Amino acid sequence: MYFVSDIRGWWGGQPFIYPGMNSIFVYVGHSLLGFYFPFSWEMHFQQSHWEWLFQSLWGTALWVLIAYLLYRKNFFLKI
């Protein structure tokens, strides 16, 4: 990734820049709200890895979207 993003400049790091700018907010938000809908739900097929994968990707996509919206509003949580 160092070669692709820093040396060659082929990729700027999106969408990972947005959660990185508010990483504490995303971490605390996931810790407090990660077990509630729409971030997760009750699994119907516990043995299916696809449902776990979809739920994880869905939750991650929602947090990236939230981080992107905060980035657009210039809101950055600092300690």
The pLDDT value given to residue 30: 92
From first CA to last CA, the distance across the chain in angstroms is 29
The pLDDT value given to residue 62: 94
Alpha-carbon distance 5 to 23, whole Å? 20
The pLDDT value given to residue 47: 78
The pLDDT value given to residue 14: 84
Alpha helices in the chain (DSSP H): 2, 17-21, 23-33, 49-72
Query: Rounded to whole angstroms, what are the CA distances from 57 to 1, 20, 49, 73?
Result: 21, 17, 12, 24
Instruction: Flag residues of the chain having pLDDT under 70.
Output: none
